[in-house]
Amino acid sequence: MSLPPTAILALDVGSKRVGVAIASLAAQLPRPLITLHRDETLFPTLQTIAEVENVSKLIVGFPRGMQGQHTKQTEAIEDFVRELKQHFALPVVMQDEALTSKHAEDELRARGKPFEREDIDSLAATYILEDYLREFQQKVKQ
């Protein structure tokens, strides 16, 4: 018997790293979880996280150009999502990620403490998840 889903994961996918954030379905308060390297350990590690956290859905940051157009990065993320769906039976939702990495870097700089590139990635994933949850709540209220 499996436990009911209790969390949602968000991914900020880059060419070298994937920032991961999580939110409980009950509290819906996203937080940075980890930054993973995009190597052969990525999907097995994500699978372990999804199982341990009882994840119900994966949210992937979807990049577009400043005018909303598709870019090479958009195509790379679409390829990543196709591969992700081969590894997971969970729903995968693409969420606009406009300026989330910039916002994350600005916030970390404002804190005045040293930070690594990995900190930006996982915080950007948190912003992606916040945006998804906010939009989901707005749809539910309508």
CA distances from 92 to 22, 105, 142 (A): 14, 26, 23
Domain boundaries, the chain: 7-141
Nearest alpha-carbon partner for 84 in 63, 61, 116: 61
CATH architecture of 7-141: 2-Layer Sandwich (3.30)
Give residue 91's pLDDT: 95
| pLDDT of the residue at 3 | 63
* CA gap 25, 77 in Å, rounded: 25
Q: What is the mean pLDDT of each run of 10 residues along the chain (142 residues)?
A: 78 95 90 95 96 95 80 91 94 89 88 87 92 83 71
Which is nearest to 90 in space by CA: 53, 39, 138? 53
- Helix-then-strand count for the chain, H and E: 4, 5
CB-count exposure of residue 65 (10 Å: 0-12, 13-18, 19+):
exposed
